[in-house]
Amino acid sequence: MLNSATETSLRKIIHCDCDCFFAAIEMRDDPLLRGRPMAVGGSSDKRGVISTCNYEARAYGVHSAMATAHAKKLCPDLLVVPHNMAKYRLAAQQIRDIFYDYTDAVEPVSLDEAYLDVSASSACQGSATLIAKEIMARVHAEVGITLSAGVAGNKFLAKIGSDWNKPNGLCVILPQQVADFVVELPVAKINGVGKVTAEKLQRLGVQRCGDLQAYTVFELVELFGAFGQRLYKLCRGEDDRPVKVSRQRKSLSVEHTYPEDKDSLSQCLQQLPALFAQLNQRLEGLEGSYLVTKQFVKFKFSDFQTTTVECVVAGSIRLSVYHDLFQQAFERGAGLGVRLLGLGVRFQVSHDSYGEQLPLFPYDLTLHG
């Protein structure tokens, strides 16, 4: 078994952060919003506040948490769109489901960002960089927005990396690059360095992490209290915080995009056993207690429209249920070919107080009866 120091040194962490999330969703759904300064927030005549804005608006100095009235003064042509939280939550769940295809070690920070520990992931030959690239491509293709990612050996550097090349950017900080990278890193980039701390550092002549490295841990604690210990480590690129799985996943699925469209229901059903076996394998690898409450299938047709059909179940999943759901989903295509097939389950998180957990296994492999 690896000791904690070894585990920390072998970590592969990805920080994913959607680009102007709320605004991106609105521009995805209304192309007329693209290319012009726009924001999502409250009305200027009701003391509203900007939640997020696109990059065209940021060029005028508009930013999140700014009063809408002030944002309008900076950018008179700014279009402010009201929130649609149901739509944003749906997109966030779609993105999170993609994360879970690569690791169960996901720590959501907010609707639009999360840390992933892919140290033990076998996806993409175990390459965190390739996993990050694949996640970025899938979010763009399946959700219709972009995200930026940082890849590093710890959470601090991964988060710095995700902001380095925005939007739609990827920054990989290899272990051998850390020392040179942090020397030039502005101290303002350190999480927890707010306005007051930044001003104090400025008075000390400290602008980069390299400047901060000249101070001993005792001097930093004397200057900044308990935060001084953290400053001492972070300015050297050190961060031993693990990715905390704050909640269990709500679903699990598998899917496959085919090189040639499936033009008939029988062709789709021929793919069902292989997908079902893959889903079973992933279910067996789950850690934690889960109750299956629904089975669902996903079809993406030749015109790139997607449909999902689901039904309520209890206990073991059944191949016969997926057979029926395939038929319903195929009929929705009205004769279109099918380019992607997927199937999955939705969970209710189980707790000891709920009583005995229903088994995920054995599976019912029969198609009828």
pLDDT reported for residue 282: 81
Q: What is the pLDDT of residue 259?
A: 85
- The single-letter code of the amino acid at 96 is R
- pLDDT at res. 283: 84
pLDDT of residue 118: 96
Residue with tokens 């000891």: 352
Question: What residues are annotated to the active site?
Answer: 113
Contact between 136 and 169 under an 8 Å Cβ cutoff? The reply is: no
Looking at residues 81-89, what average pLDDT do you find? Answer: 91
Q: String of b and e for 283-322 (b: at least 16 CB within 10 Å)?
A: beeeeeebbbbbbbbbbbbeeeeebebbeebeeebbbebb
Residue in 104, 115, 134 with CA at minimum distance from that of residue 282? 104
User: Is 17 marked within a binding site?
Assistant: yes
**Burial of 180 (C-beta count, 10 Å sphere; 0-12/13-18/19+):** exposed
Residue 310: partners with Cβ closer than 8 Å, 6 or more residues away:
294, 295, 296, 297, 325, 346
- The CA distance from 175 to 72, in Å, is 44
Beta carbons within 10 angstroms of residue 83's beta carbon: 14
Please give the class, per CATH, of domain 251-354. alpha beta
Residues of the chain with CATH 3.30.70.270: 11-19+86-177
| pLDDT score recorded for residue 212 | 95
CATH superfamily of 180-234: 5' to 3' exonuclease, C-terminal subdomain (1.10.150.20)
CATH code, 11-19+86-177: 3.30.70.270
pLDDT band with cut points at 50, 70 and 90 for residue 246? low
Residue 180 neighbours by CB under 8 Å, 6+ apart: none
pLDDT at 65 over 90: no
Residue 240 marked as a ligand binder: no
Widest Cα–Cα separation across the chain: 77
The pLDDT value recorded for residue 366 is 44
- pLDDT for 352 equals 41
pLDDT at 349 over 50: yes
**CATH for 21-85?**
3.40.1170.60
CA distance 309 to 332: 10
Q: What is the pLDDT of residues 171-207, one digit of tens each?
A: 999 999 999 999 999 999 998 888 888 899 999 999 9
Residue ranges of the chain that CATH labels 1.10.150.20 = 180-234
- Residue 48, pLDDT > 90, answer no
Residue 353 — very low, low, confident or very high, per pLDDT cuts 50/70/90? very low
Kindly indicate the confidence band of residue 357, based on its pLDDT and cuts at 50, 70 and 90: very low
Q: Which residue ranges does the chain devote to CATH 3.40.1170.60?
A: 21-85
- Report d(CA 262, CA 213) in Å as an integer: 60
- Give pLDDT, residue 7: 52
Taking only the tens place, the pLDDT of each residue in 5-31 is: 335 558 999 999 999 999 999 999 999
Residues of the chain with CATH 3.30.1490.100: 251-354
One-letter amino acid of 252:
L
Identify which of 12, 6, 17 has the alpha carbon closest to the alpha carbon of residue 172. Answer: 12
- Give the closest residue to 69 by CA, choosing from 55, 48, 51, 53: 48
- How many residues are present in the chain? 369
Radius of gyration from C-alpha coordinates of the chain: 24
pLDDT for residue 47:
74
How much is the pLDDT for 9? 59
Q: E strand or H helix at 227, and its extent?
A: helix 227-234
Neighbour tally for 154: CB within 10 Å: 24
- pTM of the full structure: 0.69
Tokens of 333: 């295509």
Model pLDDT, residue 164: 94
Element spanning 172, H or E? strand 170-172
Q: In a 3-state reduction of DSSP, which class is residue 359?
A: coil
Which band of pLDDT confidence, cut at 50, 70 and 90, is reported for residue 354? very low
Residue 355, classified by CB atoms within 10 Å of its CB into exposed (0-12), middle (13-18) or buried (19+), is: exposed
pLDDT 10s digits, 120-163: 998 899 999 999 999 999 999 999 999 999 999 999 999 999 99
Whether the predicted pLDDT of 247 surpasses 70: no
Nearest Cα neighbor of 262 from 280, 278, 275 is: 275
